[in-house]
A and B are shown apart, each in its own frame.
Chain A
């Protein structure tokens, strides 16, 4: 029996811990929460200054030009997500 605790005592567990995708997902979850938190804070700050941006955002309807801009951005985002799921050599 060893007296020093080392990673080789739990080989399966230690291998799982080295999975970068799971760690990346949790880091992105943290970043997403920080942004959501900031968005809620922003809405509250604007509201206390008399600007009810939350209601305006909920009711907002993009005009044609802005809808196109959103679509371009959204498609770029989707392609990035899909590319991340492909082996590196298949990326465009």
Chain B
């Protein structure tokens, strides 16, 4: 939807984005400092905890590290605050339009009496965004629209949603009739799915009601009749064997590895024979060198990603085969290591 930031929100989000972007090259200087202190692929510890502490001790007098720590901490703490403040400036004109967009063909079924899984409600605010996924009455818009488009997007070269669309090239069935999206959040991947497969009926689930409300707005704005459910994907209660595709995008690292295994099992149950599963996420640690794993762990520690390591150590290919899938591929798309995906077909 179209909206106009007010002056304060526009200036503050631009400052946040510029600060983060301009600080990014400090990572190269930090890598040089790590190397200058004799830490390389041979001397970095095999144990991941020990490796984090090893580099932490080595960087204690690194000016570049100190600068990135302060900027990184400030951005982590303040990106949610700034986005919420920008929303508050627009609330009088925006809130009525957002409420209106919740009316339409896309439905949202909440289950207020069902228990919320511990991995969702405990621990730090996810991504350290202020209040977590449900921390504002319009958090779906605040995070899905303001944080993603004005802040996160720049780190992906301004094409954050292009990756979501591109991963769908890995599917064999080009005309799925019914799709189930795990962890649909504010509906950005859902929209890419619908645009790629216009004939498909799309169901989506998430645990955050505030994010689902934004997905509902996105669906209605585009005239789509999505069916959205506030459910954990590992226990949907849906009838078995009714979907042609079960898919998720960057959900794997948000939950413990055991939950992703449960998602794969539930996907297998929900798919028709011949149906496909496609989960996409960050690279597996097995595909990275020691230094890259250390960075990923480090960003997980300070970026509100408590399950990152657990998730990245999971062998997605083995988990998909264990769930019963065949023709399994667990690999990056393209030449780099991101996006990583696991694909399988139900026999």
Give chain A's interface residues, CB within 8 Å of chain B: 1-7, 9-14, 16-17, 19, 22-23, 26-27, 29-30, 33-34, 37-38, 41
Q: Please judge, given known A-B contacts A5-B308, A16-B66, whether A23 and B53 are in contact too, CB under 8 Å.
A: no
Chain A neighbourhood of B301, CB < 8 A: 5-7, 9-10
* Interface residues of chain A: helix, strand, loop or mixed (majority): helix
* Interface residues of chain B: helix, strand, loop or mixed (majority): helix
In the complex, the answer to whether B71 meets A26 with C-beta atoms within 8 Å is yes
In the complex, the answer to whether A34 meets B74 with C-beta atoms within 8 Å is no
Instruction: Give CA–CA (A45, B71) in the complex, Å.
Output: 33
In the complex, the answer to whether B11 meets A37 with C-beta atoms within 8 Å is yes
Chain A-chain B contacts (Cβ-Cβ < 8 Å), number: 94
Check if B1 is an interface residue, CB within 8 A of chain A: no
Chain B neighbourhood of A34, CB < 8 A: 7-8, 11-12, 15
Instruction: Give CA–CA (A30, B48) in the complex, Å.
Output: 36
In the complex, the answer to whether A12 meets B56 with C-beta atoms within 8 Å is yes
In the complex, residue of chain A having the shortest beta-carbon distance to the beta carbon of B298: A10
Closest chain A CB from B19 CB (angstroms): 7
Q: Which residues in chain B, 45-98, are within 8 Å of chain A measured between CB atoms? A: 47-49, 52-53, 56-57, 59-60, 65-66, 69-71, 73-74, 77-78, 82
- In this complex, the member of A9, A22, A27 whose beta carbon has the largest number of chain B beta carbons within 10 angstroms is A9
Check if B302 is an interface residue, CB within 8 A of chain A: yes
Closest chain A CB from B121 CB (angstroms): 15
In the complex, the answer to whether A11 meets B69 with C-beta atoms within 8 Å is no
Chain B neighbourhood of A9, CB < 8 A: 49, 52-53, 56, 297, 301
Closest chain B CB from A57 CB (angstroms): 19
In the complex, residue of chain A having the shortest beta-carbon distance to the beta carbon of B47: A1
Instruction: Give CA–CA (A85, B309) in the complex, Å.
Output: 41
Instruction: Give CA–CA (A3, B305) in the complex, Å.
Output: 12
Contacts A/B (CB < 8 Å), 19 sampled? A4-B309, A5-B305, A6-B301, A10-B298, A10-B301, A12-B56, A12-B59, A13-B56, A13-B65, A13-B302, A17-B69, A22-B73, A23-B70, A23-B77, A26-B78, A27-B74, A30-B15, A34-B8, A38-B7
In the complex, the answer to whether A23 meets B73 with C-beta atoms within 8 Å is yes
Instruction: Give CA–CA (A38, B52) in the complex, Å.
Output: 43
Instruction: Give CA–CA (A7, B78) in the complex, Å.
Output: 19
- In this complex, the member of A1, A10, A22, A34 whose beta carbon has the largest number of chain B beta carbons within 10 angstroms is A10
Check if B116 is an interface residue, CB within 8 A of chain A: no
Interface 1/0 per residue, B1-30 and A, CB below 8 Å: 000000110111011100100000000000
Q: Please judge, given known A-B contacts A13-B302, A33-B11, A34-B15, whether A26 and B309 are in contact too, CB under 8 Å.
A: no
Chain B neighbourhood of A10, CB < 8 A: 52-53, 56, 298, 301-302
Interface 1/0 per residue, B248-289 and A, CB below 8 Å: 000000001100000000000000000000000000000000
In the complex, the answer to whether A6 meets B15 with C-beta atoms within 8 Å is no
Known: A4-B309, A34-B15. 10 other contacts (CB 8 A): A4-B310, A5-B300, A13-B56, A14-B302, A22-B73, A23-B70, A23-B73, A27-B74, A34-B7, A38-B11
Instruction: Give CA–CA (A6, B300) in the complex, Å.
Output: 9
Closest chain B CB from A22 CB (angstroms): 4
In the complex, the answer to whether B70 meets A22 with C-beta atoms within 8 Å is yes
In the complex, the answer to whether A13 meets B69 with C-beta atoms within 8 Å is yes
In the complex, the answer to whether A30 meets B297 with C-beta atoms within 8 Å is no
In the complex, the answer to whether B19 meets A26 with C-beta atoms within 8 Å is yes
Instruction: Give CA–CA (A22, B10) in the complex, Å.
Output: 24
In the complex, the answer to whether A13 meets B11 with C-beta atoms within 8 Å is no
A5's contact among B16, B77, B82, B297, by CB below 8 Å, is which?
B297
Instruction: Give CA–CA (A86, B208) in the complex, Å.
Output: 46
Closest chain A CB from B149 CB (angstroms): 19
- In this complex, the member of B15, B19, B297 whose beta carbon has the largest number of chain A beta carbons within 10 angstroms is B15
